[in-house]
Amino acid sequence: MAVHLFKNEEFSSVYNKYMLPAANEVISLILSYMEEKKCKSYDMAVDIGCGTGRYTLPLAPHFQKVLGVDISESQLDEAKRSTSLENVTYQVSSAENLTLEDASVDLVTAGLAVHWFDVDKFVHEAVRVLKPNGCLAVHAFYPIYTIDYKDYSEMLTAIMKEMIDTTFKYADGNNELLLSQYKDVFNAVPLQEKQWVTDIPVAFELSVEGVIGFIQSIYMYQDFLKKDQDEATRFLRYIEQRFREVLGEESDSAIMNVQVKHYCVLACKS
- From residue 45, give the alpha-carbon distance in Å to each of 38, 55, 161: 16, 11, 36
The model's pTM: 0.94
Give pLDDT, residue 1.
45
The DSSP H or E segment spanning 258 is strand 256-268
Burial degree of 166 (CB within 10 A; 0-12, 13-18, 19+): middle
Task: Specify the CATH number for the domain of residue 247.
Answer: 3.40.50.150
- The total of structural domains in the chain comes to 1
What is the domain range of residue 212? 2-268
Give pLDDT, residue 107.
98
Give pLDDT, residue 254.
98
Give pLDDT, residue 103.
98
Query: How confident is the chain (270 residues) per 10-residue block, as mean pLDDT?
Result: 74 94 97 96 97 97 98 95 92 96 98 95 98 98 95 98 95 83 96 97 97 96 95 98 98 97 97
